[in-house]
Protein backbone atom coordinates (compact mmCIF):
# COMPACT_ATOMS: atom_id res chain seq x y z
CA UNK A 1 0.00 0.00 0.00
CA UNK A 2 1.43 3.35 -0.99
CA UNK A 3 2.26 6.03 1.51
CA UNK A 4 0.28 8.53 -0.56
CA UNK A 5 -2.87 6.51 0.04
CA UNK A 6 -2.19 6.35 3.77
CA UNK A 7 -1.61 10.11 3.85
CA UNK A 8 -4.91 10.71 2.01
CA UNK A 9 -6.76 8.41 4.39
CA UNK A 10 -5.15 10.21 7.36
CA UNK A 11 -6.30 13.58 6.04
CA UNK A 12 -9.83 12.30 5.47
CA UNK A 13 -9.98 10.84 8.98
CA UNK A 14 -8.75 14.18 10.35
CA UNK A 15 -11.50 16.04 8.49
CA UNK A 16 -14.22 13.55 9.47
CA UNK A 17 -13.17 13.45 13.13
CA UNK A 18 -13.06 17.25 13.33
CA UNK A 19 -16.56 17.42 11.91
CA UNK A 20 -17.86 14.79 14.32
CA UNK A 21 -16.34 16.54 17.34
CA UNK A 22 -17.65 19.92 16.24
CA UNK A 23 -21.16 18.86 15.17
CA UNK A 24 -21.96 15.34 16.35
CA UNK A 25 -20.84 15.03 19.96
CA UNK A 26 -23.04 16.38 22.72
CA UNK A 27 -20.72 15.57 25.63
CA UNK A 28 -20.29 18.72 27.78
CA UNK A 29 -16.92 17.46 29.01
CA UNK A 30 -15.41 17.83 25.53
CA UNK A 31 -14.11 21.36 25.23
CA UNK A 32 -15.50 23.42 22.34
CA UNK A 33 -11.94 24.64 21.78
CA UNK A 34 -10.73 21.19 20.69
CA UNK A 35 -8.93 20.83 17.38
CA UNK A 36 -7.49 17.83 15.61
CA UNK A 37 -3.86 18.58 14.77
CA UNK A 38 -2.65 15.38 13.14
CA UNK A 39 -3.71 11.82 12.31
CA UNK A 40 -1.34 8.91 11.78
CA UNK A 41 -2.77 5.71 10.34
CA UNK A 42 -0.90 2.43 10.62
CA UNK A 43 0.11 0.71 7.39
CA UNK A 44 -2.47 -2.04 7.91
CA UNK A 45 -5.19 0.61 8.51
CA UNK A 46 -6.19 -0.98 11.82
CA UNK A 47 -5.40 2.00 14.07
CA UNK A 48 -5.57 5.76 13.66
CA UNK A 49 -3.57 7.78 16.18
CA UNK A 50 -5.49 11.05 16.45
CA UNK A 51 -3.63 14.00 17.99
CA UNK A 52 -5.76 16.78 19.40
CA UNK A 53 -5.09 20.11 21.11
CA UNK A 54 -7.30 21.81 23.67
CA UNK A 55 -7.18 25.46 24.56
CA UNK A 56 -7.57 25.63 28.31
CA UNK A 57 -6.21 24.33 31.57
CA UNK A 58 -5.16 20.80 32.53
CA UNK A 59 -8.65 19.91 33.78
CA UNK A 60 -10.15 20.80 30.36
CA UNK A 61 -7.54 18.65 28.62
CA UNK A 62 -8.12 15.70 30.94
CA UNK A 63 -11.92 15.95 30.63
CA UNK A 64 -11.72 16.23 26.84
CA UNK A 65 -9.50 13.14 26.64
CA UNK A 66 -11.97 11.19 28.79
CA UNK A 67 -14.89 12.40 26.67
CA UNK A 68 -13.17 11.41 23.45
CA UNK A 69 -12.32 8.00 24.86
CA UNK A 70 -15.99 7.50 25.77
CA UNK A 71 -17.08 8.59 22.28
CA UNK A 72 -14.53 6.38 20.53
CA UNK A 73 -17.18 3.97 19.20
CA UNK A 74 -19.36 6.80 17.89
CA UNK A 75 -16.38 8.42 16.16
CA UNK A 76 -15.27 5.10 14.66
CA UNK A 77 -18.79 4.51 13.35
CA UNK A 78 -18.79 7.99 11.76
CA UNK A 79 -15.43 7.32 10.12
CA UNK A 80 -16.71 3.98 8.81
CA UNK A 81 -19.81 5.60 7.31
CA UNK A 82 -17.75 8.23 5.48
CA UNK A 83 -14.83 6.08 4.30
CA UNK A 84 -15.22 2.94 2.24
CA UNK A 85 -12.46 0.77 3.69
CA UNK A 86 -12.28 -2.92 4.48
CA UNK A 87 -11.40 -2.13 8.10
CA UNK A 88 -12.42 1.00 9.93
CA UNK A 89 -9.38 2.16 11.91
CA UNK A 90 -9.65 2.08 15.71
CA UNK A 91 -9.15 5.66 16.95
CA UNK A 92 -6.43 6.18 19.56
CA UNK A 93 -6.51 9.68 21.04
CA UNK A 94 -3.31 11.48 22.07
CA UNK A 95 -3.03 14.95 23.53
CA UNK A 96 -0.84 17.15 21.33
CA UNK A 97 1.01 19.74 23.37
CA UNK A 98 3.15 21.05 20.53
CA UNK A 99 1.11 24.27 20.29
CA UNK A 100 1.72 25.09 23.96
CA UNK A 101 5.37 24.16 23.58
CA UNK A 102 5.63 26.50 20.59
CA UNK A 103 4.04 29.34 22.58
CA UNK A 104 6.47 28.71 25.44
CA UNK A 105 9.46 28.82 23.08
CA UNK A 106 8.08 31.98 21.46
CA UNK A 107 7.81 33.68 24.86
CA UNK A 108 11.38 32.69 25.70
CA UNK A 109 12.61 34.16 22.42
CA UNK A 110 10.72 37.40 23.08
CA UNK A 111 12.24 37.60 26.56
CA UNK A 112 15.77 37.15 25.18
CA UNK A 113 15.15 39.74 22.45
CA UNK A 114 13.91 42.30 25.01
CA UNK A 115 16.93 41.64 27.19
CA UNK A 116 19.24 42.17 24.20
CA UNK A 117 17.45 45.41 23.29
CA UNK A 118 17.80 46.69 26.85
CA UNK A 119 21.52 45.84 26.90
CA UNK A 120 22.05 47.64 23.56
CA UNK A 121 20.20 50.71 24.83
CA UNK A 122 22.42 50.82 27.92
CA UNK A 123 25.56 50.53 25.74
CA UNK A 124 24.36 53.35 23.46
CA UNK A 125 23.83 55.63 26.46
CA UNK A 126 27.40 55.12 27.68
**pLDDT tens figures, 6-28:** 999 999 999 999 999 998 888 88
CB 37 within 8 A of CB 99: yes
What is the rounded average pLDDT of the residues 40-51?
93
What per-residue confidence (pLDDT) applies to 1? 52
Q: Is 117 exposed, middle or buried (0-12, 13-18, 19+ CB in 10 A)?
A: exposed
Report the pLDDT value the prediction gives residue 41, as an integer from 0 to 100: 94
pLDDT band at 126 (very low <50, low <70, confident <90, very high): low
Find the mean pLDDT for residues 20-49: 90
Element (H, E) at 11: helix 3-19
pLDDT band at 90 (very low <50, low <70, confident <90, very high): very high
Amino acid sequence: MGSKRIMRISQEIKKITSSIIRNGLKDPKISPMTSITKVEVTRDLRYAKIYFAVLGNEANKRDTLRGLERAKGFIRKGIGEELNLRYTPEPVFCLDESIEHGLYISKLIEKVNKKDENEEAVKDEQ
